[in-house]
């Protein structure tokens, strides 16, 4: 299988014009504010094209719309994120995510609706899988995730969550580890998790944080009458930010995911690697019953004094630099050891396309483990919003 070639074009001028137009239409009058934050709407499209032999030509876009549900000066911005892509091999995926803040940040709602009919590489189970053992699987997934939290006092929130997911898997390949493996629900299955969530959140900004903490714990149960198997899922995450100067911040991020039950479907096992945590690894290259990871990121805000003129548009772009490093591991309940932990490190740049809400375009390059006989694992990431 040849390596996927990704070609990405960012229409900076076009999207900046859209942002500027929204600023002219939606800027709140100074007498209506008691803070320096200007509430405005913004829209950013990020076109993406790619090619690989198994998918053919892939075209799509990542689009993020930011808005405020009221003129409350302390209200956080809400977002709608739509990511559709299609390939010439008749493969398709669409992701719709919403993140809504209302009523002086007393209520917070999130949702994720996803459908994809898209190939994935399956490498096996555990943390010693080999690249040569990959099998290309056709995966069709339906996913509905709903979460809601309410402030119960101070910086504490409590809420509920529901996750429904249905997967089917098949392959036309005889190579790799998948055809000969004995896996739980090898051809797919369905699950419905119902959970309770507790959150502590005193961050100064949820998009580009410079100080404060965010701690979240979710415990969810999948009853047998709503799922193929009865399962428990535990998800915990901690983010903490310390400003070390007017322009620089150090962020700390840790997470723990665990799937428990008498039988564990392979496609629900925690996966190491993505554009948020353990950057540099293909998502699912390593998967097992538990996943523990942590990372540290240094961010330095640049404030260039050189304006840029594009047609009639006058702007002074803001950027930030970042360097990060971390480590993570997947393991089963009976095998927790330091030898499982793998490295992740890299650097990147951010462009603030919406300075009021501190929304960014993020470009990162990360490196991971080098296994014997293989190239060092690495990845280039182009995303809307910060990793954490």
Q: Is-contact 290 333, C-beta < 8 A?
A: yes
Instruction: Find, among 176, 194, 148, 207, the residue nearest to 355 by Cα.
Output: 207
As a whole number, the mean pLDDT across the chain is: 87
Q: Encoding tokens for residue 152?
A: 């119960």
Segment 145-172 mean pLDDT: 97
Radius of gyration of the chain (CA): 22
Q: How far apart are CA 42 and CA 19, in angstroms?
A: 5
Please tell me the total count of domains within the chain: 1
pLDDT of residue 314: 53
Reported as a single tens digit per residue, the pLDDT across 277-330 is: 999 999 999 999 999 999 999 999 997 665 555 554 455 778 999 999 999 999
Residue 364: which domain range?
5-384
> Which CATH number characterizes residue 320's domain?
2.40.160.50
pLDDT of residue 53: 62
Residue 9 reports pLDDT greater than 60: no
Residue 169 reports pLDDT greater than 50: yes
pLDDT of residue 352: 93
pLDDT of residue 388: 97
Reported as a single tens digit per residue, the pLDDT across 217-230 is: 999 999 999 999 99
Residue 18 reports pLDDT greater than 70: no
Q: How far apart are CA 94 and CA 73, in angstroms?
A: 33
Reported as a single tens digit per residue, the pLDDT across 40-99 is: 899 988 887 766 666 667 888 889 999 999 989 999 999 999 999 998 877 899 999 999
Reported as a single tens digit per residue, the pLDDT across 355-369 is: 889 999 999 999 999
pLDDT band at 338 (very low <50, low <70, confident <90, very high): confident
pLDDT of residue 76: 96
Q: Is-contact 239 214, C-beta < 8 A?
A: yes
Q: Is-contact 91 109, C-beta < 8 A?
A: no
Task: Enter the pTM of the model.
Answer: 0.86
Reported as a single tens digit per residue, the pLDDT across 106-135 is: 999 999 999 999 899 999 999 999 999 999
């Amino acid at each position: 299988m040849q390596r996927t070639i990704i070609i990405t074009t960012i229409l900076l001028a076009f999207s900046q014009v859209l942002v500027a137009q929204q600023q002219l239409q939606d800027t709140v009058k100074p007498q209506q504010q008691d803070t320096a934050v200007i509430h405005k709407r913004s829209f950013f499209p990020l076109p993406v094209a790619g090619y690989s032999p198994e998918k053919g030509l892939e075209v799509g876009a990542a689009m993020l719309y930011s808005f405020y549900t009221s003129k409350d000066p302390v209200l956080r911005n809400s977002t709608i994120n739509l990511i559709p892509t299609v390939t010439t091999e008749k493969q398709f995926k669409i992701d719709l995510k919403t993140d809504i803040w209302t009523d002086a940040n007393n209520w917070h709602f999130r949702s994720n609706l996803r459908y994809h009919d898209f190939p994935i590489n399956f490498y096996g189970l555990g943390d010693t899988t080999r690249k040569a053992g990959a099998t290309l699987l056709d995966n069709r997934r339906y996913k509905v995730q709903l979460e809601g939290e309410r402030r119960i006092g101070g910086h504490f929130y409590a809420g509920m969550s529901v996750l429904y997911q249905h997967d089917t898997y098949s392959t036309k390949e005889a190579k790799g580890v998948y055809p000969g493996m004995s896996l739980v629900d090898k051809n797919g299955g369905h699950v419905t998790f119902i959970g309770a969530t507790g959150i502590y959140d005193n961050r100064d900004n949820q998009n580009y944080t410079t100080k404060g903490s965010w701690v979240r714990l979710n415990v969810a149960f999948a009853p047998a009458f709503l799922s193929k198997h009865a399962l428990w899922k535990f998800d915990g995450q901690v983010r903490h930010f310390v400003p070390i100067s007017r322009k620089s911040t150090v962020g700390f991020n840790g997470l723990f995911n665990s799937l428990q039950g008498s039988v564990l479907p392979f496609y629900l096992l925690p996966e190491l690697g993505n554009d948020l945590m353990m950057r540099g690894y293909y998502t699912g290259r390593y998967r097992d019953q538990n996943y523990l990871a942590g990372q540290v990121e240094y961010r330095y805000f640049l404030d260039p004094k050189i304006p840029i003129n594009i047609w009639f548009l006058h702007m002074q772009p803001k950027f930030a630099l970042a360097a990060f490093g971390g480590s993570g591991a997947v393991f089963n309940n009976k095998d927790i050891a330091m030898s499982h932990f793998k490295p992740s490190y890299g650097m990147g740049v951010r462009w603030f396309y919406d300075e009021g809400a501190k929304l960014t375009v993020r470009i990162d390059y990360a490196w991971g483990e080098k296994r014997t006989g293989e190239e060092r694992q690495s990845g280039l990431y182009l995303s809307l919003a910060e990793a954490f």
